[in-house]
Amino acid sequence: MRAMVTPQLGDPGLFEERDVEKPQPGPGEVLVKVVAAGTNPVDAKLRAGAIPGAVEPPAVLGADVSGVVEEVGAGVADLSAGDEVYYTPELFGPGANGAYAEYNVVPAAIVAPKPPSLSHEEAAAVPLAGGTAWEAIVRRLGVKPGQTVLVHGGAGGVGSFAVQIAKAAGARVLATAGSSNQGTLGELGADVCLDYASDDVAGAAAAENGGAGVDAVFDTVGGQMEEATGYTRPFGRIATIVPPEGDLTQLYLKNQTLYGVFLTRERARLDEITTLIERGQVKPLVDEVLPLNEVGKAHERLDSGHGRGKIVLRVSES
């Protein structure tokens, strides 16, 4: 099968198109024909070797799949050949095999039916980023109607889902992005759109709830923890997808809770997201769709740290 392989760790130009062995499903697994694959910042970190020991080249990366079940292994009863599905495979470890290839084998237990209203390209933008946002906003931060949430990086892959999910939960949402993405924040439903480079983000957040500060903060970009403890109210909650840095004394003094969010794989979370997608409350923000062999171009954008939504790779025809 055709795959884009990382022969060694390094820059985006190292990807090679190779013919690799087609995987076969074992008991409890499904073989999926990959129609589209999402790209994520963690893919770029793995490619660059920024997570030591996580990937041993040559490797096939990619953590978002939307495709069609080709074959099911023994014991799989709830999926059949021809089913349209989406999921996020393991990034690394013994069971890892990436999405930048024509076929992917994965445990059936983490595979969910694709939202009918989405194309495969749109669906491939959802599992990792949407799942991470759902885990942070719904499960960890426990956002409820009437609460106030600040999302850092609200126009990015994870942040764009977080803004929409928080709005669907009934929250008032403040979100940050660069000047070119202020309109995007508004389209996603943010109540207050803040330019991280020129606006007083801390002041705006601290003014919420009558000057007590926001109820919750979700950091998708990094470097926000110390300041966030100052503008989050006492007994408030903070979640981050990057390792926290800085002086966290206020976290202790204000009885705040800090959550680290690293996504586990499961079907239930995707089923929950699908409900909001089918109601029209959440929509993936796809910035560009590229052919599989242009994965290096996608990684160049990932390396820049800037952008709008997700870049998706078209792997094959459905």
Tell me how far apart the alpha carbons of residues 239 and 53 are, in angstroms, rounded to a whole number: 26
The CATH code of the domain that includes 197 is 3.40.50.720
Co-location of 221 and 114 in the same domain:
no
pLDDT of 95: 64
pLDDT score recorded for residue 304: 87
Look at residue 175 and give its three-state secondary structure: strand
Q: Please write the tens of the pLDDT for every residue from 204-253.
A: 999 999 999 999 999 999 999 999 999 999 999 999 999 999 999 999 99
Q: List all residues 6 or more positions away from 11 whose beta carbon is below 8 Å from its beta carbon.
A: 48
Same domain, 142 and 242: yes
Portion of the chain with pLDDT greater than 70, in percent = 99
25/88 same-domain check: yes
Residue 235 belongs to some domain of the structure = yes
Contacts of 53-56 with CB under 8 Å at 24 or more apart are 54/91, 54/92, 55/6, 55/9, 55/92
Asked if the structure places residue 272 within a domain, the reply is no
- Domain assignment present for residue 271? The answer is no
Sign of the dihedral defined by the CA atoms of residues 145, 185, 115, 269, in that order:
negative
Cα 112 to Cα 268: distance, rounded to the nearest angstrom: 8
Strand bridging mode 103-107 / 29-38? antiparallel
Label the pairing between strands 148-152 and 214-219. Answer: parallel
Residue 11 and residue 122 in one domain: yes
Is residue 274 included in any domain, yes or no?
no
Query: Is residue 270 in some structural domain?
Result: no
Whether residues 60 and 80 fall in one domain: yes
Region of 183 (left: φ > 0; alpha: ψ -120 to 50; beta: rest) is alpha
141-144 CB contacts, 8 Å cutoff, 24+ apart: 141/216, 141/218, 141/237, 141/239, 141/259, 142/237, 143/169, 143/171, 143/215, 143/216, 144/169, 144/170, 144/171
The domain tally of the chain equals 2
Q: What angle do CA 5, 9, 12 make, to 5 degrees?
A: 70
Examine the domain organization and report whether 153 and 254 are in the same domain.
yes
Residue 244 is assigned to a structural domain of this protein: yes
Per-residue pLDDT band for 305 (boundaries 50, 70, 90) equals confident
Per-residue pLDDT, averaged over 299-310, amounts to: 87
Question: Do both 137 and 254 map to the same domain?
Answer: yes
For residue 279, is it within any domain? no
Cα(312)–Cα(263) distance, integer angstroms: 20
Q: Specify whether 219 is located in the same domain as 247.
A: yes
Question: pLDDT tens for residues 82-109?
Answer: 999 999 998 877 667 799 999 999 999 9
Do 252 and 177 reside in the same domain of the chain? Answer: yes
Is the domain of 134 the same as that of 248?
Answer: yes
Question: What percent of the chain stands above pLDDT 90?
Answer: 93
pLDDT tens sequence across 23-39: 999 999 999 999 999 99
Do 83 and 168 belong to one domain? no
pLDDT digits (tens, 9 = 90+) for 111-137: 999 999 999 999 999 999 999 999 999
What CATH number should be reported for the domain holding residue 95?
Answer: 3.90.180.10
Residue 113 inside a domain? The answer is yes
One-letter identity of residue 129: A
Residue 101's domain comprises: 2-126+284-314
Q: Which of 101, 166, 161, 168 is nearest to 128 (CA)?
A: 161
pLDDT band for 53, please (50, 70, 90 cuts): confident
Distance (Å, rounded) from C-alpha 119 to C-alpha 318? 10
